[in-house]
Amino acid sequence: MKHVFIIGSRGLPGKYGGFETFTDQLVSHKISSQIKYHVANLSDTENGTHFDYRGADVFNVNPIKAGGARVIFYDIKALNLSLKICADEKIERPVFYILGNTIGAIISYYARKIHKIGGILFVNPDGLEWRRSKWSKPIQKYLKFSEKMMTRKADLIISDNQGIEDYLKSEYGDVTSKVLAYGTETIVSQPSEADDKWFDDHQIKKGHYFLMVGRFVPENNFELLIKSFMASTTTSDLVIVTNYEDNPFYESLRASTSFEQDKRVKFVGTVYDKNLLLKIRENAQAYLHGHEVGGTNPSLLEAMWSSRQNLVLDVTFNRNVVLDSAVLFDRDKLTEKINLSETVSEDLQKRSQEIILSSYTWPIIVQQYEDLFLNYEN
C-alpha cells in the first residue's frame, strides 16, 4: 500500500480554489486500490481528529490565528501530524505531496525528516505565486526564497504547465521536474427555471455577451480587458463574474476605466451554483481570459470545454494549454479581436473540446498522478 499525504490545500470536501478542487478530484476519481490518501484539513475547532471522505483519511489541523502567516503554521502542523501518523501506523516509504511554496524557508528540516523514514517529497509550486501583486514586497521576497528552497529540497517538482517547468529550470538550473496538468469536468448544464431567471434579473441576453470569470486581482488584467472592450464597437455586453464586493480594487478600477459610464459592462458578483456558472459559460458569445501569472488555469480549462469561443492573452502558460483552439491576443490587439469575434470559425470550440478530452479530463490526470505515486523511484 502506498500512503500519500497531501498538504497545502484547505482540505476536503473541496469548497474553495484550485488546490482544493484538485485534491477532491484526486480522491474522488481514485483508481488504484494500492493507494491510501491522507489529506490535511484546515479547521477552526478540531485538531488531530480524523474523518473519512470517499476513502481518504482526512485529518483536521487547527493552527494558531496569525493573519496571513497562518498558512505557514497550518503546513507546519500538518507535516508534524503526518509524520506522527507515519510513526504510529509504521508506514514505510510514504509520499508527501506539498501544494504551494509557503514553507520553503524551513523545508530543509522536513525534507530530512521525510527522507529519514524512507519517504519521498513532491512539491507543486503553484505557478509564480511571488509575482502576485496582492503581496507586499517583503512577502514577495519571502515567497521567491521559498520557491528557491523548495526546488532544491524536493525530490520532484510537479509543474501543472510546461511554462512553469521551463521557468524553474531557467531560474534554478537543473531542477528535477515533471509536468502534470490540472483537470476539468466535461459536463453540460441542466435546464433550470432559476438559472433562466438569473439572466432576466441581470438583463443579459443569451449569446450576446462576452464573459470574464476569475479572482478579482490586478494580474488577471481586468483593467486591460475592460478598457479594450469599452473601445470596441460590439453591441454585446461584458459580463464579469468575480468577487468584486467590498474590494478596494473595484474603486481603483472604476477610477481608471470609468466603466460605470458604459451600460454594456456588468459586474454580477460571484456565482457559486455550478450549473448556473456552466450555463453562463455555454451561452457566452466569447470568453475573455487575461490571466498571466500561474500555470494551467482552471477557469481557462472550463472555458475551453463550455464556451463557444475563447479570446486568450498570449502568454506562455496560456499558449501551452489552448494550442490552436483559441484566438490569442497581444495586449494592444484585444479591441480588434472583439470587433472581429463574430467572424471566427465555429470549429474552434470543437478543437478546444478535443484538447480537453485528450489531455485534461480528471480521469486522465488522476491516472497520471497514480502512476507517479506508485512507480516513482528516488
The whole-angstrom distance between residue 49's C-alpha and the CA centroid of its chain comes to 28
pLDDT class for 18, splitting at 50, 70, 90?
confident
pLDDT, tens digit, 9 for 90 and up, residues 234-253: 999 999 999 999 899 999 99
SS3 341: helix
| Same domain flag for 371 and 349 | no
pLDDT value of position 270? 93
Quick one: which H or E segment has residue 178?
A: strand 177-179
43 falls within a domain: yes
Phi then psi dihedrals of residue 209, to 5 deg: -155, 145
pLDDT, tens digit, 9 for 90 and up, residues 184-211: 999 999 999 999 999 999 999 999 999 9
| Same domain flag for 171 and 207 | no
345 falls within a domain: yes
Say how far apart CA 36 and CA 374 lie, in whole Å.
11
| Same domain flag for 248 and 174 | no
188 falls within a domain: no
> What is the model's pTM?
0.92
Instruction: Give the DSSP per-residue string, 205-239.
Output: -TTSEEEEES-S-GGG-HHHHHHHHHTS---SEEE
Phi then psi dihedrals of residue 226, to 5 deg: -65, -45
175 falls within a domain: yes
pLDDT value of position 302? 96
Structural domain boundaries enclosing 24: 2-183+361-375
- Assign residue 140 the CATH number of its domain: 3.40.50.2000
139 falls within a domain: yes
| Same domain flag for 101 and 52 | yes
